[in-house]
Homo-oligomer: A and B are copies of this chain.
Amino acid sequence: MRGEFEQIRKVWAPLAAGAPGAYDLRNDAAVVRPPPGEELVVTLDTLVEGIHFLADDPPELLARKLLRVNLSDIASMGGRALGYLLSTAWSSRIDDAWVEAFAAGLAADQAEFSVHLLGGDTVRTPGPLTLSLTAFGSVAQGRGLTRAGAAPGDLLYVSGCIGDGAMGLLCRRGELRSLSLQEQDYLEQAYRLPQPRMALGQALLGLASACLDVSDGLLADVSHLAKESGLRATIEAPKVPLSTATASAVAADPEMFALALSGGDDYELAFASPPSHQGHIEALSQHLGLPLTCIGHFSDGDGLVVLDREGEPLELGGRGWVHF
């Protein structure tokens, strides 16, 4: 493998071209300039081989997922993406070709999301490949969305479909063979290459009263919204939007519904919005070509209530799992 300095020059510096504050990665630190009137939104995620991904995951997709899960956190605050720092601890199996493929994945997503590499650190490890990414975004001062802020009576929405991440991981493990190959491909792709909802997040400034991205699982994450807002959240389970593929998996095995609601890795946005904005949310959904589904509401109280088709509460376990 190339030495550190050569790797920086050949592989990483091209990813920093176009970001003046990155100084072509030749400085001790980088400069990030939020646009006038905006403040920085910062987040960090770490992925470890064997824990968060598998050794044979394609490096291009791994790179893109690492960037996207961080961008999703920026989106959940209503921020727009600016750039990122990258920490890579290479294990002994990683060679130059692997690093180049990883960088190619980043390059593809840099173009898609208009961000640049700003700096980072490259080291070696005797352990598993360990990747950490710090993403920067910006949002109008004091206007960033948080998990707190939902009011009693606010409606609860989610974007896109829920459960594809969890089903995709099962496909990845070869545990959903009953589905068609096309469905398996769709789900595995959803797991491997989530879509951070950047445009939605920014459009929700002024429309949403609270927001987060669904990374821990819908039930756990809606519980977070309820707790941080000091309210009770109610989810009407039959309203939760499922893709055709996830619906197939649930049809084949009804227990998969609990997994769809509690598994993570969806990276959709869950948000609260007052009923008066219902029309705006519908128009926004049309405009973005992205389903925004009302799946429940917030009320005085605490905790999370999940209702079944008959309006009866489903019993919830401690870690967000639905026990039927």
Q: Interface code A70-83, partner B: CB below 8 Å = 1, 0 otherwise?
A: 00111011010000
A132 touching B41, Cβ below 8 Å: no
A29 touching B77, Cβ below 8 Å: yes
Chain B residues within 8 Å of A27, by CB:
77, 146-147, 212, 228
B132 touching A46, Cβ below 8 Å: yes
Residues of A within 8 A of B (CB-CB), count: 60
A321 at the interface (CB under 8 A from B): no
A87 at the interface (CB under 8 A from B): yes
- Most B C-beta atoms less than 10 A away, residue of A85, A123, A127: A127
Bound form: Cα–Cα A12–B43 in Å: 15
Q: How many copies of the chain does the oligomer comprise? A: 2
Q: Interface code A20-48, partner B: CB below 8 Å = 1, 0 otherwise?
A: 01010011111111100001111111111
B44 touching A120, Cβ below 8 Å: yes
Bound form: Cα–Cα A128–B129 in Å: 11
CB distance from A121 to the nearest CB of B (A): 4
Chain B residues within 8 Å of A46, by CB:
87, 89, 121, 123, 132
Bound form: Cα–Cα A213–B26 in Å: 13
B123 touching A125, Cβ below 8 Å: no
Chain B residues within 8 Å of A293, by CB:
none
Interface residues of A (CB under 8 A from B): 21, 23, 26-34, 39-48, 50-52, 72-74, 76-77, 79, 85-87, 89, 91, 118-121, 123-128, 130, 132, 134, 136-137, 139, 141, 144, 146-148, 212-213, 224, 228
CB distance from A283 to the nearest CB of B (A): 26
B119 touching A42, Cβ below 8 Å: yes
Find the B residue at minimum CB distance from A130. Answer: B130
CB distance from A219 to the nearest CB of B (A): 15
A134 touching B34, Cβ below 8 Å: no
Question: Given known contacts A27-B212, A44-B85, what 5 new A-B pairs fall within 8 Å (CB)?
Answer: A29-B76, A30-B43, A42-B118, A43-B119, A46-B121
14 pairs of residues in contact across A and B, judged by CB atoms under 8 Å: A28-B43, A28-B147, A29-B77, A34-B40, A42-B85, A42-B134, A44-B87, A46-B132, A48-B124, A51-B125, A91-B127, A127-B127, A127-B128, A132-B132
